[in-house]
Structure formats: structure tokens, C-alpha cells
Structure 1
Amino acid sequence: MNSCKEKVGNQQKQVWIQGPIIVGAGPSGLAVSACLKNNDVPSLILERCDCLASLWQQRTYDRLKLHLPKQFCELPLFGFPENFPKYPTKRQFISYVESYAEHFSIAPMFNQEVERAEFDHGNGVWRVQTQDCEYISRWLIVATGENAEPSVPEIQGIERFEGTMVHTSLYKSGSEFTNQRVLVVGCGNSGMEVHILPREMFGFSTFGIAMALLKWLPLRLVDKFLLLVASFTLGNTDKLGLRRPKTGPIELKNATGKTPVLDVGALSQIKSGKIKVIEGGVREITRNGAKFMDGQEREFDSIILATGYKSNVPCWLKVSSSTITERKTLDITNNRDL
């Protein structure tokens, strides 16, 4: 049972948590809580928003689907419904996450944004501070993901633009920009990666093929195979302004975390000329558009910043070198000890 000490004077309420404190009620946080519960270990999830999987519910576009087959995306101990399609929709994935939490009776503490988490060496506990409470536990699990905060670049003149400018975290549908000239800034997961792979090869998931081959073949050989098939099915993307790096897609993912895009239609739009790729990036935003590194200047009605996200963990997690040595914190997002 969790015990509470009510606020005394100006001191904030303290809550002792018998098991681990999990920060984040996304898929990773729910999965950890379910696995702990399956082993009779209690836990408490703190979530800054008012819902489960807030990134999916609040910051994704309407027509989003999983880009990997559902068997690679299901959470432990409770799979997707059999009637779900191979690539579940956004709404289906959210309903699955909600059913998952209900199945394991997981009840996060919503609207609890962690402001500071620090290990108390004297008492051997973590002190996790939110806006209205201090939670105390021997264990802390960080499950906030790598996409907690929108990343907005510093571009000269960005404040002068008189049209509509949004980050992809607020983008919902292309219908909002019908008949407009739109500039999409960014080559990340929200826009277009440099490595382009088909979502499926020979009728099978590209990701599934890669994972199967890696069991038997060296990583670089698998990368060469993927690029050979991609070149055969998609053509030379360099001619479209999408130059592939020298490092293969899986090796690049392992080294930098940059995930190759699994094409679901954007490439055909580029080939048709409906989407134009401008190499070199944006030099300056003007009142009516943008100037590019290659000297071009164009007018746009709207700008969408597909510049990705970043983790907010460094803002609130205070970890000393001695804490790292004691391995009291586990970052399940990257599956490594901090």
C-alpha cells in the first residue's frame, strides 16, 4: 500500500510508493507496469497529461497508421485483437493501449508533471517532485520516450513570416492546407528521411525481413541487401534530391538513432512533381516565404516544421556520477542503465 503524509504548513504532501515510480504513461510505461504487476510488484505511473499515450492522442496526424506490422508493435502479455489489420490505424492503436491498461488494472496518476527527480543518498530513495506532491520510492523508471518536446529550429527571420507556421505536433490533416503553397522544413521522421526503404519487400515487411536476416548474416551484408532491393523497387533516390548516406540504414540507426523512412506514398508524389525536394536547407525565412542555401527564393502560404522532437529528461532528472554507479535508475526508452 502507498502511504501519504499530508501537507504541514508550507511543506508539500509526500507520498511513499512501495514499488517503482514510472514516469510516463505511454506504451513503454504501461508495458513495464504490466510486467511488474505480473510478478506481483506494485508500481505507480506519473503522467503529465490527462490521458494514456498522449503523443499518439494529441500530437499525431489523423491518417497515421503503424508503419511496422502489428506483431512487431504489440506490448508484452497482451497482443492486438485478431481482427485488427496488419497495420493498425491511429485510433485502433489508441484503443489497444486503453484496453491494455484496463486489462492489467493500470491507473496512472494523470496531470502530474515531474519537475525534478533526484536520488537522496542519505535515505537511499528517489524523490520525485511534481507540481503538488513529492513521491518517494527506492526505484525510478524513466519511460518518457525520445519525443517528449517539439524541436523548433532557430532559423533567421522565422519571426517575420506572415503566413501560417505550425510544428508537425499540431498538424492533423492536409485538408487544412488545400490549394496552398506549403514549405515543409525538415528531413526527419515527420518529413522525409534520407534513407528510403519500401514498407514491404516480396510481400513481407521490410523490418521483418531485416530482423530475420540479422539472425544469420552480418549487419553490413543485410544493409547491402536492403539497399539493393530498395534501389530495384524505388529507383535512384539521389536523382530526386534524396541522397543516401554512405552508412547503411541499420548501421546508421544503431549509431545515431536515425530511422529510415518506410515509404507509403510520398516518393510517388515526389516523382510526379507534386512535392519538390530542395537540397541544402533553408537559409532564411522571409515575410512571404523562404530563401534557400542554393540561392533560390520562393513564396509560401504556410510553413510546417517537420523538425522532430527531443527528450525532456535532462531538464528534470538530476543524476550524479555516484548515482549512475549505483544503477538506481533505468531508462527503458533506450533500454539501458543511466
Structure 2
Amino acid sequence: MQHREHTVDVAVVGGGQAGLAAGYFLRRTGAEFVILDDRTEPGGAWNEYWDSLRLFSPAGHSMLPGWWMPEEEGQAYPSARHVTWYLGEYERRYGLPVHRPVHVEGVERVRGALRVNAREGSWRARYVISATGTWRAPRVPDLPGRDLYRGRQLHTVDYRAPEEFAGQRVVVVGGGNSAAQILAELSRVARTTWATLRPPRFLPDEVDGRALFAIATRHQNAARDGGPLPPGVGDLGDIVVVPPVREARERGALKAEPMFDRLTPTGVVWSDGSSLDCDAIVWCTGFAPALDHLAPLGLTDGRGRIPVEGTRAAAEPRLFLLGYGDWTGPASATLIGAGRTAKTTVARISDSLAAGG
């Protein structure tokens, strides 16, 4: 069956927080646009986070443009489930043209435009905004013996709740927020070992998402203006001390060991020859940007990123990238940061459309 090609001014690939923020501003320009999302329900990756995850910031500091996130009853920091609800209500509130499920397979150049090809059809767009995030591109280090280990291996994307690990020996790998939060709850029901490349760095207890966003913004503004750089978020630490992490730290559950060198069929081995048998390993080892759909454009560098000027692809002026991390705008992978980068991106596209570009 042959699908008809649609023609739009802007095609947004990804219907999570960054894609919806772009849609909010595109709606106000009068441009013809679509948001193509490969999930069956609203909420983006928030539908797939572990059950106990909570935001680092209160609801009032975790909103998309135009509508403040309502507070979640009885919770100072909203749950992933509440964020999922909010994103669904947000797209309905603003009547955003989200098409789902649409599985985009590639973006290619055509005369004067880009064509977005999906299993469900194709869209010829004067501009494309890629907002697919990182959740679908988990990274696991390729350590010797990883294919020999007979226990269970899972990544952050696979983890949901601690109960299934009750009574087991579990190794949690990674020095960031996901590792600390998952370890905090696993350590209540399982015998846990925490392995990190370097000693974990906890942010001061009073620092939450509000402060992190302000720090990231000051650092970016100083870099833009050519002045002396103030400390960035990475200079202060890596782990936000949310209440469960604080509690686990106080009971001594967050003692980290150096990273092991290899795996055996039954566990892990360190460089000094010491070993540990374990039932499961949880790899909280981060993500790459999910950019496979942009491979036909040939823009990706050796780090798996696409060089950008602001949010615009340096080598493809019809392509913009939103929400992949600080390289696409300060705190752009957060709810509040997504709105700021979307606003400047859509303004740039609107100006180009008005000029006939």
C-alpha cells in the first residue's frame, strides 16, 4: 500500500516534552506543522520510567510554556505518573497536531526541503525539528565477559521496582542520579554493591532542580558573552540529594566501590583480583542521543552527536535539534529548559519562513 506524501512547513519528530514545547510555539506562528510520535499514548519517556521516580523540582518549577504544572496531591516533588498526565493534558489543552503511533525511519534531503519517511507515510517539510531525546538509546560499557555473565543484566530503561530483587545480590553501576536513586530503594530489599568510575559527587543538600537550571543558564550566558565562566553544574557535583537518596546515605547504603574490570559467568572481578558473585547487574550508565532517523543526512560526529549552532544543525540549515542535553541548550532535557530552547528555535524558523526560506 502506497502512502500519500503530506506537505507541511515544519515536521517535529518526537512527541515528548521537547516536541510539545515546540508545538506550543509553532501553534502561535500560524505555520502548518505536525508532531510525529512513535508511542501509542501521550507522555513520552515518562511512561517508561521506574515507578518511584520523582522530579528534582516542585511542580511550579517544572512546567512547559503556557501552563504551569498543577501540584500533585500530597507530593512536594511530582511523580513520573503525574508528569505523564500533565503532558497528555498539555497536548489536548493546546490542540497540538500529534500523530501517533508514527514510526519515523529516516529523514532525507529533497529539493528545497526535508522528507520525513515513516512506516505510516511521509511528510515533506521545509524544516524538521528532531526531539526524540535519549531514552531509546541506552549505553552499556563493553566490558570483557559481559556476554558470559549468566545472571540478569538490565539498564535503567528496564528497571521498574525493587521487589523482584528481594533477597538477591545486586550490583548497580554508574555515578549519576539514576544509579543513586535506584540503589537507594534496592538497598532496602537486596544486598547491593555500588560500582563507579570515580567517587560519587553529591550536590549540596539544598540544591534541587531550580538551582540547577539557574546555574546552567548563568554558565551558558557567560559563555555566550565571552566573560569569565562561573561554576557549572558539573563543577558542583553529579547527584541531587532527593529525600530517598539522603535517607540511604544516612543509613550507610551509598558506599561506592571502584569500577570492576570484567565479568565472569557468576559475577564481577576488580583489577586487584577480588571478585563478587551477584544475581543481577543494573547498568545506570547513561544514554546517547537517539538520532538513527537522521542517519541518511550524514551529520553525526564521532561522539554520536550532530554539531549545532544554537539548536540548528551546522551542516543542514533545515534541521533543528531540541532536548538532547546541554549541547542543544542549557538544561534542554528538562521540562522547564525544553520550553526556553523551543521558543528560540521556533522564532528562528518563523523568521526563515517569513523570509521565504
Q: What interval of TM-score do these two structures reach, taking the shorter chain for normalisation?
A: 0.7 to 0.9
Residue type at the aligned position of 1:152: V
Residue type at the aligned position of 1:272: R
Distance in 1 (alpha carbons) for counterparts of 2:135 and 2:5: 28
Q: Structure 1, residues 210-265: CA drift from partner, whole Å, max 9, x if none?
A: 479879998765x4xxxxxxxxxxxxxxxxxxxxxxxxx52559xxxxx8221123
**Counterpart check, 1:27 vs 2:26:** no
Matched residue, 2:8: 18
- One of 285, 290, 302 as aligned partner of 1:307: 285
Offset at residue 28 of structure 1 (A): 0.7
- One of 203, 207, 215 as aligned partner of 1:197: 203
Matched residue, 1:101: 91
**Counterpart check, 1:278 vs 2:257:** yes
Residue 199 to residue 205, structure 1, CA distance change in 2 (3 Å): farther
Distance in 2 (alpha carbons) for counterparts of 1:213 and 1:154: 36
Q: Structure 1, residues 269-327: CA drift from partner, whole Å, max 9, x if none?
A: 34534343111x12111122110234320111111111122112155343368x84562
Where in structure 2 are the equivalents of 1:295-334 lying within 5 Å? 295-314=273-292, 316-319=294-297, 324=314, 327-333=317-323, 334=328
**Counterpart check, 1:183 vs 2:166:** no
Distance in 1 (alpha carbons) for counterparts of 2:298 and 2:209: 46
Offset at residue 198 of structure 1 (A): 3.5
TM (norm. structure 1) is 0.75
Are the equivalent residues in 1 in contact too, given 2:127–2:318 (CA < 8 A)? yes
Offset at residue 111 of structure 1 (A): 2.5
Matched residue, 1:64: 53
Distance in 1 (alpha carbons) for counterparts of 2:316 and 2:152: 49
Unaligned runs of at least 5 residues, structure 1? 1-6, 224-248, 254-258
Aligned residues: 290
Residue 189 to residue 15, structure 1, CA distance change in 2 (3 Å): farther
Q: Structure 1, residues 187-215: CA drift from partner, whole Å, max 9, x if none?
A: 234214843114525x9954367479879
Residue 132 to residue 69, structure 1, CA distance change in 2 (3 Å): same
Offset at residue 166 of structure 1 (A): 1.2
SS where residue 179 of structure 1 aligns? Answer: coil
Offset at residue 87 of structure 1 (A): 1.4
Are the equivalent residues in 1 in contact too, given 2:43–2:85 (CA < 8 A)? no
Are the equivalent residues in 2 in contact too, given 1:116–1:130 (CA < 8 A)? yes
Q: Cα RMSD (Å) of the superposition?
A: 3.2
Are the equivalent residues in 2 in contact too, given 1:189–1:308 (CA < 8 A)? no
Offset at residue 40 of structure 1 (A): 2.3
Q: Structure 1, residues 82-137: CA drift from partner, whole Å, max 9, x if none?
A: 565441111111111111011011242222222110121xx201111112422111
Residue 25 to residue 209, structure 1, CA distance change in 2 (3 Å): closer
Identity %: 24
Are the equivalent residues in 2 in contact too, given 1:199–1:206 (CA < 8 A)? no
Distance in 2 (alpha carbons) for counterparts of 1:308 and 1:198: 22
Offset at residue 51 of structure 1 (A): 2.0
